[in-house]
Amino acid sequence: MQENEEIKALLKEINEEMPSLSRRDAIKLMGMSPLAAGVIASAGTATGTELHASDAKGKIVIVGGGLAGMSTAARLSNSLSSPDITVIEPDPKSVSYQPGQTLVAAGVWEPDDIVYKRDDFLPSGVNLITDSVASFDPANNSVTTASGENISYDYLIIATGLMLNYGAIKGLKGVITSAGANNGEVMETIGKDGAHSIYFQDGAAKTYDGIQELIAKAKAHTGSEKLQALFTHPNTPIKCGGAPKKIMYLTHARLEEAGVRDKVELTFLPNGGAMFGVKEYHDAILQQFKDRDFKWHYKHNLVEIDTANKVAIFDHHWEEKGEYDEDLEEYDTIVKHALVEKKYDFIHITPPMKAPDAVGKSPLGSGKGWVPTVKETLKHLKHDNVYVLGDVAAVPMGKTGGSVRKQYKVVVDNLIATMEGKSELPAAYGGYTVCPLITSLGTVMLAEFDWSKKPTPSFPLDPTQERWIWWLLKVYALKPMTVYGMLPGRA
């Protein structure tokens, strides 16, 4: 298979960069990596630890049938001798490969390359309810679906994912999932007239068209002022925090390829005050921005957009020193705000994100909407028979597929221990996550880290460097690892 040939090339590159490393050791390194444990087996060979069936009994309900929910269902099904598992998921394409949306927008993949049918990955023996949950009643161990069906459980797993809240930006409408079902309101303004977003499937495909339109406009542009391409990052937690930068890098690459990069100014406008939460990666990205002549303005949150006139309005916020507090012996800090208007020819909008209201505003939710959980065990903070994983979980830096790959095994091990009546939970999530930061058409910086906010590279290579071998990993290995490793509950 082509994928296996690319993996051989990846191993060859490792050997070239570290001549003392044998091919056997290179394979061993990939096998040890929490990221790449399934890479060698990209054609579908089972990976991961051997599973021993438990005789524990109990009715398990999983709310959400995306990557997190379906992988958990599969691993539980493999781990219990008599599983009683129900998955509640309305979206027939819930298991589609979301990380591929960036590559669709760049024209590397076609939309069909990332769309998968939920029912093709439903584990044998698992009951599927094609509905959404409208309310949660943890006091009575039950949920109620949108159609009014009341479903009881002994154990509940919440893996609903999150919602893309485009409607939180004045001038836009709609709240949708990443699959983008029922996206009519959103696409009244997104996907045309220079306003784009890769965060849902149709939006990713339209973003590719938008980049081509920007290239055509640049080729025809004869004015002295550069065209403006803006890239936003909101003031909420988001899935795949690197994606707003990835699409910027890829737009730059396509403009360079077309010979019109000098006619377009690319500007990144994040709500935060840094490029990345890990200093080493922040420093590396900052240098990459400088090398590519990118512009950036920290502490700018997109609050309104006039798509008819192509004007984006940002809340620029900063801190100033206030009056001196004699009791605390320090100065007060005053947050200042100013609205800033920026015209654009192309804008990539990363929408604010939130938990689905049904769970975020339920007794299982929290003041901030996300579902509170013990970050190591992934057990709900208040309910011992409820576990949480994936984008909806209130854990730091955990909204990526790389996080889910570690989390779902923790949930399964700990839930089975709970079902068996054990007082101690055997598994702990250490906060590992990974962001394959695409920096060009052919290079990736593999940013791996955990709650220590320090790089945690799986390979003995400088993780702050852009490498083509990580492009091979991103384009050829991670999708089969996800589809044939995680979704069957093995990798």
Catalytic residue numbers read 240, 435
**C-beta of residue 340 within 8 angstroms of C-beta of residue 314:** yes
Angle at which helices 23-32 and 2-17 cross, to 10°: 110
As a whole number of angstroms, the distance between CA 373 and CA 290 comes to 39
Instruction: Give the integer Cα–Cα distance in Å for 148 and 62.
Output: 17
* Strands of 59-63's sheet in order across: 127-129, 84-88, 59-63, 155-158, 386-388
By the 10 Å C-beta count (0-12 exposed, 13-18 middle, 19+ buried), 25 is classed as: middle
The identity of residue 153, as a single letter, is Y
Determine how β-strand 300-306 pairs with β-strand 142-145: unpaired
| HSE (side-chain half, CA atoms, 13 Å) at 79 | 27
Backbone φ and ψ for 336, nearest 5 degrees, come out as -105, 150
CB of 489 closer than 8 Å to CB of 465: no
Contacts for 455 with CB less than 8 Å, ≥ 6 apart:
278, 280, 281, 447, 448, 449, 463, 464
* Radius of gyration (C-alpha) of the chain in whole angstroms: 23
Q: How many CA atoms lie within 13 A of 443 on its CB side?
A: 11
Q: List residues bridging with 177 in a β-sheet.
A: none
State both tokens at 157.
Answer: 């797993």
Give 351's Cβ-side CA count (13 Å radius). Answer: 30
Residue 134 to residue 143: CA distance in whole angstroms: 8
Nearest to residue 453, comparing CAs of 221, 305, 278, 321? 278
Beta bridge partners of 379: 387
Q: Of all helices (H) and strands (E), which one includes residue 74?
A: helix 67-79
- Tell which phi-psi region holds residue 107, choosing left (phi > 0), alpha (psi between -120 and 50) or beta: left
Tell me how far the alpha carbon of residue 286 is from its chain's centroid: 22
What's the burial of 144, exposed, middle or buried (CB within 10 Å: 0-12/13-18/19+)? Answer: middle
Q: How far apart are CA 367 and CA 238, in angstroms?
A: 17
Residue 122: DSSP 8-state: P
Element (H, E) at 480: helix 478-481
CB 459, CB 472: distance < 8 Å: no
